[in-house]
Amino acid sequence: MRVLPSGSRGLLLELDSLEEVLARYAALREVDLPVLDLVPAGRTILVVADRGTDLRALEQRVRAVAPVEHAGADLDPVEVPVRYDGEDLHEAADLLACSVEELVRRHREEAWTVAFCGFAPGFAYLRGTRSGWDTPRRTSPRTRVPAGALALAGEFTAVYPRESPGGWQLIGHALVPMFDLHRDPPSLLLPGTPVRFVEARV
């Protein structure tokens, strides 16, 4: 683990894999540290210190925290009902060199895990266990992607929590809201959560 500087309030932990990020993140959440927030991402965790914290002392304590192996492995997956009817479904299948039916089957059978959240409240980046998901973004991003759009980009799949611009390939839409202020927590999908997509019948 490398610890990179991030100003007078932050330490950026850089790790070798997403698995290490999730293992460290699960461990850091359980210990009592003078920390205001933890920001997990693809290869890093930003540790945001409480005001007035000595960063050198905090770094020592963070380094001493042992990662939790197989974090989230024993959790039941969250099931997200979807329909595979996205505008880019055929293009995405072409990009992944398979048929539409094959793409849908693989997406439905994949064991996804929430890697991290960002971009917008409730926007979760989900990663699968198998390879073969590497999908290029659209060359020209859409100015308007509808709320609930199920999409692919890079090694990730995601559901857009609300209408926004976006460059991901749209393969369908989800039938449950990703972000709801009247729910606690408001985000359906949190880092480390296992997820399965279930095809809803018309």
Q: How far is the CB of 111 from other proteins (least distance, A)?
A: 21
Q: How far is the CB of 153 from other proteins (least distance, A)?
A: 12
Cα separation, 81 vs 194, whole angstroms: 14
Q: How far is the CB of 44 from other proteins (least distance, A)?
A: 4
**Residue 45 vs 170, nearer CB to other proteins:** 45
In the list 22, 26, 41, 170, the residue contacting other proteins (rule: CB under 8 A) is 41
Cα separation, 32 vs 61, whole angstroms: 10
Site for other proteins in 91-130 (CB under 8 A): 116-124
By CB under 8 A, is residue 166 in contact with other proteins?
Answer: no
Q: How many CB atoms lie within 10 A of CB 66?
A: 9
**Residue 121 vs 132, nearer CB to other proteins:** 121
Q: Say how many residues touch other proteins, by CB under 8 A.
A: 42
By CB under 8 A, is residue 200 in contact with other proteins?
Answer: no
Q: How far is the CB of 78 from other proteins (least distance, A)?
A: 14
**Segments of the chain assigned E as strands:** 2-6, 10-14, 35-40, 44-49, 78-83, 112-117, 124-127, 142-145, 149-153, 156-159, 164-166, 169-174, 194-199
The answer to whether the Cα torsion of 119, 121, 127, 132 is positive or negative is negative
Residue 100's Cβ-count burial label (10 Å; 0-12, 13-18, 19+) is middle
Binding site for other proteins (CB under 8 A): 4-10, 12, 14, 36-46, 48, 54-56, 116-124, 161-162, 179, 181, 185-187, 190-191
